Amino acid sequence: MTGEFELIRDYFADIGGDLSGSVQLSVGDDCAVITPPAHQDLVVSIDTMVEGVHFPFGTSGDRVASRLLGAALSDLAAMAASPAFFTLALTLPDTDPVWLKAFSTRLAELARQYGVQLVGGDTTRGPLTLSVQVHGWTPAGKALLRSGARPGDRIFVTGTLGDSRGGLETLLNNIHGEQVPYLQHRFFCPEPRLDTALLIAPFATAAIDISDGLLADLNHILEASQVGAMLNPGELPISHELHHWVGEAQSRQWALSGGEDFELCFTAPALVEPKLAWALRDHNVAVTCIGQISETRGIVLAEDGQVLPVTPQGYNHFSGTGNLR
Amino acid sequence: MTGEFELIRDYFADIGGDLSGSVQLSVGDDCAVITPPAHQDLVVSIDTMVEGVHFPFGTSGDRVASRLLGAALSDLAAMAASPAFFTLALTLPDTDPVWLKAFSTRLAELARQYGVQLVGGDTTRGPLTLSVQVHGWTPAGKALLRSGARPGDRIFVTGTLGDSRGGLETLLNNIHGEQVPYLQHRFFCPEPRLDTALLIAPFATAAIDISDGLLADLNHILEASQVGAMLNPGELPISHELHHWVGEAQSRQWALSGGEDFELCFTAPALVEPKLAWALRDHNVAVTCIGQISETRGIVLAEDGQVLPVTPQGYNHFSGTGNLR
């Protein structure tokens, strides 16, 4: 068995390049050795995905790689960190060379794209489970936290929300149609908003990435910052594809609590909004203001003069909604 | 389900203290934030354990915690690194509070003992799988590698070898007896040789921790250093308990290729042996010279004038031996 798993390791040789020059020793010893760049903080996050829980049984290796690394790097984006290196703990039921090749090829592509080097890992036999730890650097003391939102701050989100949940629903219900490829791509291939994060970091007071759903994750900012929020559901950024497939009401529900969007939700003072807009003028990811921070704790939705309190789990008047897990 | 797993996270609040002062932000944000101490390299290793593969089904939570953290920290010892913090990715089939309490309590004890703080993690549902990433610091450029062994260097090991394999055999074959508790303790509770590593680091030219078996792991040093080794099997440190239970021949076999010892194997020039002995004079872990590095590649066993070539997998004349995995 050891021989078999040593073979597997060959799939993961030389994944990603060391752009930062900080990696002294990569795979091949008991540990990897990294020399931290001067005046930088290390930022780390570990994420696990299990077949049948985080992605359907039988998902192809390239899709699993996209989902795994995209979601993990999204945590670095939420801290406005620059990605540097990662480790991979891979538990496999068997050694399917087709799956492994697709997985490692896609992983290598993404590692190059995002500038992260694979510096270590572990390969074991068992039910398909993947843990990845991502590591990034921020200027010392400058990591973007959840705890800095202040009353009056504007609340922003990147991209569009609810697509990933839509993609999952098309998978689970075996739905076909014009919008399906886009929605499933959004589910399988989250794009960590690393570049956007660096552009907004000078202005943002708090940030999180949306994994549990906008309301749940915004609530983490609100609790850490001890504030509340008022959202305008009419401002929620919803893709044409999602809107076309399920209409206004369902789109909004998934945008608020669908989860797994891996977009950023962040806050910034109203005064810096022009500067923020200027910083993002040539940027190819939409950033939308969806509400503002209030002193009153909790979240309310306000549209056309109507005010609707919601729980972090979703609308009160929709039953059965909530998280995917 | 999210609520359930958020509850689980409560078991892991405040595990370990920050002795180094480097942890700026622990669990509770998207990432942990660490300020690297000046002039130190970061050393990282990730390890996975799967129920039924690395430990028997039904193993108690405290034993799993001991095995998991002990084995992981052993990789830091092999680099002569000082442990600092760790992350935990925990995949659980259900939420058994007795198991979780035993696991988290023991994990917290060991974290305090070894001075590592739990700074982040992920909890998911699935077959029992645990990945832990350990992080330590070494003075810049001073990590102890596998690649520095030179012909003439003496080869040393810490503690006794083969006990862990003996313990596993008593478990698998349901054996009882006077030696069993000691041997099973050695299997479930590896003691990472972190203190020993810091004492030997000024003198050692190469090191590895013994996880696959002495021959296999020594061979990693030999390949990285492009040298060979001559071992005296009569010098292998074998515990009274193991010897008493299975006798000389079986003890030696397990000492050479049993695996999962989590002792250190290291090399040091013959000239520094007196200084090494002096550095270890009050140390409570035995360090035994078992042979020396040669120019001729490969490993030979030499005893009483007889020379026996061996493969990294074990004795040639024992079939069916090898790794546990």
Question: Do the beta carbons of residue A48 and residue A129 sit within 8 Å?
Answer: yes
Residue B307: pLDDT band by 50, 70, 90 thresholds? confident
Which amino acid, one-letter code, is at A12? F
Contact assignment for A42 to B29 by CB distance below 8 Å: no
Contact assignment for B44 to A32 by CB distance below 8 Å: yes
Q: Where does residue B268 rank: exposed (0-12), middle (13-18), buried (19+ CB within 10 A)?
A: buried
Report percent pLDDT > 90 for chain B: 76
Of A23-27, A63-67, B129-133, the poorest mean pLDDT is in A23-27
Q: Which two tokens stand for residue B210?
A: 């013994």
- Mark the binding-site residues of B, compressed into ranges: 30, 45, 47, 54, 75, 121-122, 146, 209, 211-212, 260, 315
pLDDT at A201 over 90: yes
A66: closest CA of chain B, how far (Å): 19
Give the angle subtended at the CA of A151 by the CAs of A147 and A155, to the nearest 5°: 75
Residue A311: pLDDT band by 50, 70, 90 thresholds? confident
For A95, other C-beta atoms within 10 Å of its C-beta total: 15
Contact assignment for B126 to A52 by CB distance below 8 Å: yes
Kindly list the structural domains of chain B, giving each domain's residue range(s) and its CATH number in brackets, ordered by start.
2-139 (3.30.1330.10), 154-310 (3.90.650.10)
Question: CA nearest B50 in A: which residue?
Answer: A126
- Mark the binding-site residues of A for substrate, compressed into ranges: 54, 260, 315
pLDDT at A233 over 90: yes
- Residue A120, CA distances (Å) to A17, A33, A117, A131 in order: 13, 10, 9, 12
A305: closest CA of chain B, how far (Å): 33
Contact assignment for A143 to B91 by CB distance below 8 Å: no
B8: closest CA of chain A, how far (Å): 15
Among candidate residues A199, A129, A220, A287, the one with its CA nearest the CA of residue B49: A129
Q: Each residue of B90-148: pLDDT tens digit?
A: 999 987 889 999 999 999 999 999 999 999 888 888 999 999 999 999 999 999 999 99
State how far Cα A314 lies from the chain centre: 19
Of A2, A121, A216, Cβ closest to residue B212: A2
Q: Each residue of B18-27: pLDDT tens digit?
A: 656 788 888 7
pLDDT at A1 over 70: no
Residues in A touching B138 (Cβ below 8 Å): 33
pLDDT at B88: 94
A-B Cβ pairs (cutoff 8 Å, strict): 208
Residues in A touching B36 (Cβ below 8 Å): 36, 40-42
pLDDT at B244 over 80: yes
Question: Do the beta carbons of residue A299 and residue A215 sit within 8 Å?
Answer: yes
Question: Do the beta carbons of residue B87 and residue B45 sit within 8 Å?
Answer: no
What residues contact A249, with CB distance under 8 A and at least 6 apart?
none
DSSP, res A235 = G
Contact assignment for B53 to A125 by CB distance below 8 Å: yes
ipTM over 0.90: no
Contact assignment for B78 to A30 by CB distance below 8 Å: yes
Count CA within 13 A, CB hemisphere, residue B90. Answer: 26
pLDDT at B316 over 50: no
Residues in A touching B32 (Cβ below 8 Å): 43-45
